[in-house]
Each structure stands twice: as structure tokens, then as C-alpha cells.
Amino acid sequence: MVTQGIEASRVDALAGLLEEIADAHGELLGAIDQKIEAMKSADTERIRAAMLKERDIVVRINEREGLRRQLTVNLARPFGISADRARTLSARQLSDRFSGVNGDRIERAVETMRGLTDQIAQRNHVAQLISQNMLRHMKIIFASMTAPAGGVGYSQVGDTQIAAGDRIFDLVG
């Protein structure tokens, strides 16, 4: 009886931990969205703040994931599953071993995380493309400032063009 009570408590803790990790993934998605919005307006301070927030959330998720693995090892032990094997068990595989409310909670948290991780991957791809384009434009800007006559530059309307005059640094000192 006591063992069943301890196991039920651990299953409840696992379900709560997975819900917490899923919530953190939602926060991460929000931080990435904030970073993308800041990138669109070239607000470097907001980009930096969003990246710091993103980093803190990822650290927290990794810490909670370590706790999930430890809890999984403790839950899998009564089923004769080795610690190494238990660490690699997915939450879904574990939830199949449990019936009742906690198994359902585990399933819901896993589904929530699955949807969020797909969205996070998509948003990170967008942020990567924005960063690549910003870098490409910065290279053109610096090339126009440092290149000898005839280098690439920007026109008054923002189009790229072949510069015909002196380097910008030569003109402004």
C-alpha cells in the first residue's frame, strides 16, 4: 500500500513537472516572438532582452528536464526497467504504464509540448532568416563605407548600386 501511495505521488509529480515544462515552452515561444518583433524594428535593446529571456527559459527547461529524468528512473524501477533505459523513455511510454487521471495529464502535457516545439522550430527558422538578411545588409553597408571607388552601396531610395565616388569614410573623415 505504501509503495502504491509513493508511486501515485511520483506519477502526480511527473505530471506536474511535465505541465511546468510545457508552460515553459509556451514562455519560450513568446520570447522568440518578442525577439522577432524587435528584429523587425531593429531595436537592438529589445533583441538583447528577448535573447536573455530566451536563454533563461531554456536553462530552466533543461533543469526541469533533468528532474524529469530522475523521476522517470524512480517510476520505472518497479517495472524492472534499468536506469539507463528509463532515462530515455518518453513521457508517453511512461504514461502508458499508468491509468487514471495522471496518465491523462501526462498525455495532455506531452501533446502541448509537441505542438509548442513545432511552433518554436518554425519561429526559430524565421529568426534565423531575419538574422541572415540583416547580416547580408550590414556587409553591404560596411563594404560601401570601406570599399574603394566603384564598390557596392545604397542609393537614396535604398536600392543597392555600384558606388561611383569616394569611400564614405574618406568623405566624412
Cα distance between residue 38 and residue 11, in whole Å: 41
Report the pLDDT value the prediction gives residue 79, as an integer from 0 to 100: 79
Report the pLDDT value the prediction gives residue 118, as an integer from 0 to 100: 95
Nearest to 91 by CA among 61, 74, 111, 64: 111
Report the pLDDT value the prediction gives residue 10, as an integer from 0 to 100: 84
Phi-psi region of 150 (alpha: psi -120 to 50; beta: other; left: phi over 0): left
- What type of residue sits at position 38? A
Nearest to 151 by CA among 129, 131, 170, 126: 170
**Chain centroid to CA 55:** 8
Q: How confident is the model over 4-32, as pLDDT tens digits?
A: 666 778 888 989 999 999 999 999 999 99
Phi-psi region of 161 (alpha: psi -120 to 50; beta: other; left: phi over 0): beta
Ranges of residues in the chain with a pLDDT under 70 are 1-6, 91, 98-101, 144-156, 158, 160-173
Question: Can you list the domains of the chain with their CATH numbers?
Answer: 2-133 (1.20.58)
